[in-house]
């Protein structure tokens, strides 16, 4: 399952990076909170549509009923995500995507620390494995920081010099997201399916985001007005939320099969994809010096080397035993079946539930909402390269289908 977890982490990086592109709309004068609310609404639709399409609601609700104690953890994780996502939009507005991205991607080190402290990750691993995982994670973070600094053109650098609040927002998002991975790991050690977890996760994120949008100073009174003005571009934000959910689902599978210490740094290679969208589609690197271009190439190679190191650090028998001890602790605490939890952790489960008629209604409603939002949609008021946008879109779709086929072949999305 190690190879499968690594593949899921790579797919997650591609789609999480792609999902950030629509947040460029903050430069068009819209409130970051309203931008975030629209993206979260798209996330909400996707988190119900995709699991229903892949497994069916009967399966999801049966899984939640067996592990009901994890519902509150899923809601908490969703709330943390909503706050972090709002902070990222403010960070992008103040310091730009190229600087904000690497700062909040330090969440992989936060997640690694929590995983080692609370869930026995890397316990029993040899020195070589520790060096690969920790060293690879640090390499990814260093590469993201170098990429962010080298990607700033002169005009953006002058703006970023006054963007202390944006830096704080990005670091706050890193802490929120790094801590959000705790409920992830807790759920999967208990045997919960990632599709079930993301379904309840969305309750916390949409509820929290709605509350934030209403209560922030200056937001409540103008909320309906800004949503009305944003209507012609709302489709793109919903699409961004949908893309994020695809990336997050693969990130969840990566966290399940290789742990947060390995899975999250792999998913954080989204910096490469974010750089590709920023540079090729939005021309964010226009005016960057030759020296910085060399740094960008070197940093990208360092990130790839770090990802390869993490991907090659498969767990040995002692580390698997340590993981099983963590599973046993969760099962004893909540009265779960240990053998079943171990089997589910390995992607093994019995036959799923038959689909209900309302599953097709849910999927149809989700598709119908996107069709309705597409009516009257206009191209965002930004300068972008359509050819590069089309090329990157095709690339991430190929990555998605390859990773999805592998996940289906080995686990039937378990």
> What confidence score (pLDDT) does residue 161 get?
46
Domain segments of the chain as ranges: 2-411
Query: Tell me, what's the pLDDT at 394?
Result: 93
HEC profile for the chain? CHHHHHHHHHHHHHHHHHHCHHHHHHHHCCCHHHHHHHHHHHHHHHHHHHHHHHCCHHHHHHHHHHCHHHHHHHHHHHHHHHHHHHHHHHHHHHHCHHHHHHHHCCHHHHHHHHHHHHCCCCCCCCHHHHHHHHHHHHHHHHHHHHHHHHCCCHHHHHHHCCCHHHHHHHHHHHHHHHHHHHHHHHHHHCCCCHHHHHHHHHHHHHHHHHHHHHHCCCCCCCHHHHHHHHHHHHHHHHHHHHHHHHHHHHHHHHHHHHCHHHHHHHHCCHHHHHHHHHHHHCCCCCCCCHHHHHHHHHHHHHHHHHHHHHHCCCCCHHHHHHHHHHHHHHHHHHCCCHHHHHHHHCCCCCCCCCCCHHHHHHHHHHHHHHHHHHCCCCCCCCCCCHHHHHHHHHHHHHHHHHHHHHHHHHHCCC
Q: What is the pLDDT of residue 155?
A: 46
Predicted local distance difference test score (pLDDT) of residue 216: 67
pLDDT (0 to 100) of residue 315: 77
Residues contacting residue 270 through CB under 8 Å, at least 6 positions apart: 12, 13, 14, 15, 16, 17, 20, 101, 105, 247
Q: What is the pLDDT of residue 250?
A: 92
For each of the chain's 414 residues, which pLDDT tens digit applies? 788 988 999 999 999 888 877 666 555 566 767 777 788 888 888 888 888 888 888 888 888 888 898 899 999 998 998 888 778 877 877 777 667 777 777 787 888 888 888 887 877 777 888 888 888 888 887 887 777 667 654 444 444 444 577 778 888 888 898 888 888 888 888 888 888 888 888 888 888 888 877 776 555 446 677 777 777 778 888 888 888 889 988 988 998 888 887 888 888 788 788 778 877 887 777 777 778 778 877 887 888 888 888 878 887 788 888 888 888 998 998 888 888 888 888 777 755 567 788 888 988 998 898 888 888 777 766 677 888 888 998 999 999 999 999 998 888 888
pLDDT of residue 156: 46
Are 6 and 241 spatial neighbours (Cβ–Cβ below 8 Å)? Answer: no
Alpha carbons 385 and 286: distance in angstroms, whole number: 13
- The phi-psi region of residue 33 (left if phi > 0; otherwise alpha if psi is between -120 and 50; otherwise beta) is alpha
Q: Residue 189 and residue 192: Cα distance in Å, rounded? A: 8
């Amino acid at each position: 399952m190690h190879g499968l977890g690594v593949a899921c982490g790579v797919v997650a990086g591609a789609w999480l990076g792609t999902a950030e592109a629509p947040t460029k709309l903050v430069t068009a004068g819209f409130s970051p909170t309203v931008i975030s609310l629209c993206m979260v609404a798209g996330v909400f639709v996707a988190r119900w549509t995709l699991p229903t399409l892949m497994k069916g609601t009967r399966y999801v609700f049966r899984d939640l009923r067996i592990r009901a104690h994890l519902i509150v953890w899923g809601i908490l994780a969703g709330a943390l995500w909503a706050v972090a996502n709002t902070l990222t939009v403010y960070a992008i507005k103040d310091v730009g995507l190229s600087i904000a991205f690497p700062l909040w991607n330090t969440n992989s080190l936060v997640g690694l620390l929590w995983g080692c402290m609370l869930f026995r990750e890397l316990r029993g691993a040899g020195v070589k494995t520790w060096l690969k995982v920790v060293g690879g994670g640090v390499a990814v973070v260093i590469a993201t920081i170098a990429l962010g600094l080298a990607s700033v053109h002169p005009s953006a650098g002058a703006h970023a010099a006054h963007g202390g609040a944006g830096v704080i927002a990005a670091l706050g998002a890193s802490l929120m997201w790094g801590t959000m991975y705790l409920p992830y790991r807790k759920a999967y050690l208990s045997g919960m399916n990632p599709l079930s977890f993301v379904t309840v996760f969305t309750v916390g994120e949409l509820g929290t985001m709605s509350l934030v949008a209403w209560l922030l100073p200056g937001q409540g009174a103008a909320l309906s007005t800004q949503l009305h003005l944003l209507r012609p571009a709302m489709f793109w934000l919903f699409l961004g939320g949908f893309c994020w959910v695809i990336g997050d689902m693969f990130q969840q599978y990566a966290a399940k099969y290789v742990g947060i210490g390995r899975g999250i740094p792999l998913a954080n290679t989204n910096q490469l994809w974010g750089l590709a969208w920023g540079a090729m589609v939005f021309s964010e690197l226009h005016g960057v010096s030759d020296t910085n271009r060399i740094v960008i190439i070197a940093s990208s190679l360092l990130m790839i080397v770090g990802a390869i190191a993490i991907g090659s650090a498969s767990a040995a028998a002692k580390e698997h035993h340590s993981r099983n001890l963590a599973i046993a602790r969760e099962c004893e605490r909540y009265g779960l079946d240990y053998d079943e939890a171990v089997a589910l952790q390995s992607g093994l489960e019995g036959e799923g539930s038959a689909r209900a008629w309302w599953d097709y209604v849910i999927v149809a409603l989700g598709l119908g909402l996107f069709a309705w939002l597409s009516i009257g949609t206009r191209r965002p008021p930004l300068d972008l390269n359509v050819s590069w946008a089309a090329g990157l879109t095709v690339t991430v779709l190929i990555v998605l289908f390859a990773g999805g086929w592998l996940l289906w072949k080995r686990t039937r999305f378990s």
